[in-house]
Amino acid sequence: MKKLVIVFAKNPEPGKCKTRLAKSIGDEKALEVYKELIKHTAKTIGNANTSRAVFYSEEIQTQDLWNDTLFQKEIQSNGHLGQKMQAAFEWGFEQGYSKICIVGSDLFELETSDIDKAFQELEQTDIVFGPANDGGYYLMGMTRFYKNAFLEKAWSTESVLEKTIEDLKGLKLAFLKTKTDIDTLEDLAKHPEFHHYIPDHILKTL
């Protein structure tokens, strides 16, 4: 199969994932939220008609929430986010894949149809993005390696997608539906499935 989805994931450890969220609900609850997000992401990607790889932030784990038979397992490279993504795409193309999408692991709104749609768009375009409401993107896919997509910029800020588009002038781009990552308490409150992680007196104010 020539299609590949790469997912970037943090090793689920207290104090090392969902740190912005943890400031509101504590490290342990933030970890539980992240595990739920991993389960959702793994299931969603697992249902897509594509090869799959998970790139861990620190170390490869087996017999975890990422099914060993479904997911190839690698470690993210060193450097800023752009360098990490660049190395992952390069790895994928070196493996012989012709269409590669990369996604994060903190989007509860991610659907298998988003993955399918991204690959459909890549039949006619150079690069596809899934825009995030915070100004970044939850998905980026390409048909060959375009280094300009990874030029250094203010990663994890509201200008990331805008700056990336500027760096890709002349290429044909496509966009999926805009969605919201779960990074803050306000993001979490938008999903009733997670309300039990939020203290009632706080939930009433959101």
Percent share of the chain, pLDDT over 90: 89
Q: What is the pLDDT of residue 153?
A: 79
Question: If you ran DSSP here, which 8-state letter would residue 197 be given?
Answer: G
Structure tokens belonging to residue 172 = 């044909």
Q: Domain range spanning residue 148?
A: 3-203
CATH number at residue 159: 3.90.550.10
Give me the mean pLDDT over the 70-97 stretch.
96
Q: What is the pLDDT of residue 158?
A: 84
Q: What is the pLDDT of residue 76?
A: 97
At 1, the pLDDT band (50, 70, 90 cuts) reads low
159-169: pLDDT as tens digits: 899 999 999 99
Long-range interactions of 75-79: CB distance < 8 A, separation 24+: 76/8
Give me the mean pLDDT over the 123-143 stretch.
95
Question: If you ran DSSP here, which 8-state letter would residue 147 be given?
Answer: G
- CA–CA distance, 38 with 32 (Å, rounded to integer): 10
Sheet holding 72-75, edge to edge: 72-75, 51-56, 3-9, 99-103, 137-142, 127-131, 173-175
Q: Is pLDDT above 90 for 196?
A: yes
Task: Catalogue the E-assigned strands of 86-172.
Answer: 99-103, 127-131, 137-142
- How many structural domains are present in the chain? 1
